[in-house]
Amino acid sequence: MEYRTEHDSMGEVKVPADKLWGAQTQRSLENFKIGVSMEQMPDEIIRAFGILKLAAAEANRELLPSKITSDKLAAIKSACNEIIEGKLSEHFPLVVFQTGSGTQSNMNVNEVIANRASEILKTSKLHPNNDVNMSQSSNDTFPTAMHISAYLVIKNNLLPEINSLIQEFIRLEEENKDAIKCGRTHLQDATPITFAQEISGWRASLQRDAQMIEHSSSSLTYLALGGTAVGTGLNAPVGFDRLVAKKISELTGYSFQTDENKFHALTSKDELVFTHGAIKALAADLMKIANDVRWLASGPRLGLGEITIPENEPGSSIMPGKVNPTQCEAVTMVAAQVMGNDVTIGIAASQGNFELNVYMPVLIYNFLQSCRLLSDAMRSFRINCVRGIKANREKMKSNLERSLMLVTAISPHIGYENAARVAKLAHEESLTLKEATLKLGYLTEDKFDELFHPEQMV
């Protein structure tokens, strides 16, 4: 491998000749050999850095025209756009488990932009700190990238997937308005409901989750950029924070604003904790829905068997013909991961010591992973499972007719305790509810038939 020599304030470092990063990135690579490739800084963070560096360069050109020429600005913008488009991904090799401020990833971005812009410009060499990091600090750029990346993945990925799953449930509700089945509480027989009503509970849970995520994520539109090292805005021109937030809004199509209290913005991560709490609520509901689906599809002969789901792949290496609810299992594992991520996020956010939080990389890594996994899991669940759910109406009818809790229909007429006696007798002697009621002499046959209409109990 061929190398070139780069330098920083600590001296010279050899860097692979075909890479755009510089000395500080190389030092981080050598000093933090922790984890595997999947635990590198997320692509969403790198793209967010591309957005904020482009916006910062434009703001600096307007506010400090003597320090950044139009040629430099054009070259920086070109390099940033390549980062945003994912064209320079190979040049961002750093792992999550590095400095807790994300300084090395900020410098990785600065070095890549400076070197790529220098290639584009050809006439002069740009400096990663002086030119690309102008008016900024890692301490305000990394939390800004966190908010941008988190907000964009929610708006562009997570919420659309929730809404797509909601629409699939709405379709399924419409198909099953007249499918009456036994309700269940405590895993025991309960009074009747329609399958559509059961599905509506799933659908409404997702709608409420989407509302909570939408509400909580609005706090992520407040940006730390402009606070520089400790929140005072040292070395940033007056108005830089507002102007750069305006330009980030223009670049993303979403309304971002500067956080008026940069001391809060640098050290507190409460907005991410709050938003991930709503995301965890989504995970909890998806766990419940997936479990409901696999319970209802259990069988095919010895379980509830009230619905069928698509048979996507063989389920056993030893039992021929076995098919399992694998999509449900994938959703529940993702939900478990998200719940674990929430613990990490809460602990990481609590470590805002004095003027800076130093657990930021692991916090945003877990946050973005939650959004990514949930988006993917909902898409897979919708396409490979929910879309193919069919009600087994014969089994629903059979289960309903055998349910002892239909006795609730005659309870107002014979009293709670007498109704309980009917249910107990029917269960002990394998009688129908009608047979047990007549045997106990609580109602005549005609009166029982007049009162007993399970289809009206929904």
Q: Say whether 168 sits in a helix, a strand or coil.
A: helix
d(CA 200, CA 183): 13
Q: How many residues would you count in the chain? A: 458
Residue in 370, 275, 372, 348 with CA at minimum distance from that of residue 102: 348
CA–CA gap between residue 123 and residue 8 (Å, rounded):
22
Tell me which DSSP letter residue 258 carries.
E
Q: Which residues of 76-93 are buried (b: 16+ CB within 10 A; e: fewer)?
A: bbbbbebbbeeebeebbb
What is d(CA 388, CA 383) in angstroms, rounded to the nearest whole number? 8
- Residue 352's DSSP bridge partners are 357
Handedness of CA 298, 300, 304, 309 (dihedral sign): positive
- Residue 234 near residue 215 (C-beta atoms within 8 A): no
- Report the amino acid identity of residue 114: A
From residue 250, give the alpha-carbon distance in Å to each of 52, 60, 235, 244, 246. Answer: 11, 16, 24, 10, 6
Query: CA-based angle 311:292:214, to the nearest 5?
Result: 105
Residues classed as catalytic: 186, 316
List, in order, residues 6 or more apart from 387 with CB less than 8 Å away: 168, 310
Task: State how far the Cα of 419 lies from the Cα of 442, in Å rounded to an integer.
Answer: 9
C-alpha to C-alpha distances, 137 to 6, 132, 140, 228, 456, nearest whole angstrom: 21, 11, 6, 5, 67
d(CA 120, CA 82): 12
Number of H helices, E strands in the chain: 17, 10
